[in-house]
Amino acid sequence: MKENNKIQEIKNANNYILVDVRTKEEYDEGHLKDALNIPYDTIDDNIELDKSKTILVYCKSGKRASTAETILKSLGYTVYNLGGFEQITDFEKVK
């Protein structure tokens, strides 16, 4: 299954958590509606997210989101990297 189809399937099921892994300053300049701001360098085994939900991470370019994806997967979460904020079109943005 193509990645975009999987993201759409997750979105349609409405069983996900959006996580913006950029800095608070970047988040405050604009983010996806309902996204949590958890900077990627603060994600560790103290993080508590609902493991029954799919975690969708993003940042500015996708690099920090990739790091966050790796960490979260190692902690037992189901995670998809949406990539860079400006390229995301499937979710509503808030400025």
For 3-94, give the CATH class.
alpha beta
Element (H, E) at 19: strand 16-20
Average pLDDT of the residues in 14-24: 97
Q: What is the pLDDT of residue 2?
A: 60
> Is the pTM here over 0.85, yes or no?
yes
| Residue-range domain boundaries for the chain | 3-94
Rounded (5°) CA angle 56-61-73: 35
Is the pLDDT at 25 greater than 90, yes or no?
yes
Average pLDDT score over residue span 48-73: 97
pLDDT the model gives residue 94: 95
Distances in Å between the Cα of 67 and the Cα atoms of 5, 30, 62, 64 are 23, 21, 9, 5
